[in-house]
Amino acid sequence: MKRILITGGAGFIGSHLCEQLLDEGNEVISVDNYFTGAKSNIIHLLDNPYFELIRHDVTMPFFIEADEIYNMACPASPIHYQYNAIKTIKTSVMGAINMLGLAKRIKAKILQASSSEVYGDPKIHPQPETYWGNVNPIGPRSCYDEGKRCAESLFVNYHEQNNVRTKIARIFNTYGPRMHPNDGRVVSNFIVQALNGQDITIYGDGSQTRSFQYVDDLVNGLIKLMETPDSITEPVNIGNPDEFSIKELAEMIIDITGSKSKITFEPLPADDPTQRKPDIIKAKEMLNWEPKIKLEEGLIKTIDYFKKTLSL
């Protein structure tokens, strides 16, 4: 039995990771300050004696014994990460320093939840890990993008200077049950709007693309990456390469829900990436992993979840 620390364990992705790692017979400790996460995401795990919750902010040092650390703590939706941009940078950078320092001290393996946002508004399509990205360092998304880029640099340097056993997952747009209904991300926004019969708000003309990954696929990819030999420390894209325009996504959600909602077009936020699609050759080769859940199948599960939580 391993003891596994998950920062951001009460969040959308973190809660699924806690669940899966407990199912696999591990002891799991969630560390979260509940900024965007919620106890309701993990309440069903609380009667498991091998699960523990700690309220803590990762910008402050932390000490515990563990075999592995998944560093997931960071607000992920533009509304949440722009709410307090300085705090977002601190969470990414000081959170990484504190967790890497801990990993160094206790000789734990540590995985960073990085992001496709390190590629910014990419000029290369699809994005391989070798691409350095096109990020505006002073734009509205920079607190998140540059925080994640700095965290990657910290991971690389803690490995090279201090032999910390590091892993970096570049996570692409992920959706599924327990997404926050009001966090402004496109999948949750469109589903909630469709179920409530409200207008579906497309920003821009809807021709921008994203590649959506179901959360179960991501969790499997993260665990496989953590299990790779210590020699694997370079970033690995974890995402679903099936690419859709935002307009196609809206139409698919209207279709599945049978909603009478109309589509409206609103201004595109500044620095909104025009396209995004992972090159997952590395994940296929190194992790023997690829996503299994098609967008329509994942949307049906996610819509069922929102129907229950919104009591519709």
Residue 108 DSSP symbol: -
Tokens of 159: 């490995």
Q: Reduced to 3 states, what is the DSSP secondary structure of residue 298?
A: helix
75 contributes a contact to ligand NAD by CB under 6 A: yes
Total binding residues toward ligand NAD, as defined by CB under 6 A: 28
Of 282, 204, 193, the C-alpha closest to 236 is 282
Q: Does 35 participate in binding ligand NAD (rule CB under 6 A)? A: yes
Q: Contact 302/187 with Cβ under 8 angstroms? A: yes
Q: Using CB under 6 A, which of 202, 254, 287, 299 touches ligand UDP? A: 202
Q: Decide: is 91 part of the binding site for ligand NAD (CB under 6 A).
A: yes
Asked if 297 and 144 touch (Cβ cutoff 8 Å), the reply is no
Q: Is 212 in the site for ligand NAD (CB under 6 A)?
A: no
In the complex, the smallest distance separating the C-beta of residue 55 from ligand UDP, rounded to whole angstroms, is: 27
Q: How far is the CB of 144 from ligand UDP (least distance, A)?
A: 8
Which of 45, 186, 219, 280 binds ligand UDP (CB under 6 A)? It is 186
144 in active site: yes
How many residues would you count in the chain?
312
Which among 292, 271, 126, 257 has a CA at the least distance from the CA of 204?
A: 271
Among residues 59, 188, 208, 302, which is the contact residue for ligand NAD, using CB under 6 A?
A: 59
Give, as ranges, the residues between 257 and 276 that touch ligand UDP (CB under 6 A).
Answer: 268-269, 272
Tell me 110's DSSP state.
E
Per CB under 6 A, which of residues 92..121 are in contact with ligand NAD?
95, 113, 115
Q: Which does 91 bind (CB under 5 to 8 A by kind): ligand NAD, ligand UDP, none?
A: ligand NAD
Distance, in Å, from the CA atom of 37 to the CA atom of 35, rounded to the nearest integer, reads: 6
Task: Retrieve residue 80's tokens.
Answer: 């949440």
What gap in Å lies between CA 67 and CA 301, rounded to an integer?
Answer: 33
- Report how far residue 11's alpha carbon sits from residue 175's, in angstroms, rounded to the nearest whole number: 12
Between 126 and 165, how does the x/- string for binding to ligand UDP read (CB under 6 A)? ----------------------------------------
Cβ-count burial 120-153 (b if 16+ within 10 Å, e if not): bbbeeebbebebebebeeeeebbbbbbbbbebbe
Q: Which residues bind ligand UDP (CB under 6 A)?
A: 77-78, 173, 184-186, 189, 201-203, 208, 210, 246, 268-269, 272
Q: Residues with catalytic annotation?
A: 144
Q: Which residues bind ligand NAD (CB under 6 A)?
A: 7-8, 10-14, 32-37, 57-59, 72-76, 91, 95, 113, 115, 171, 173-174
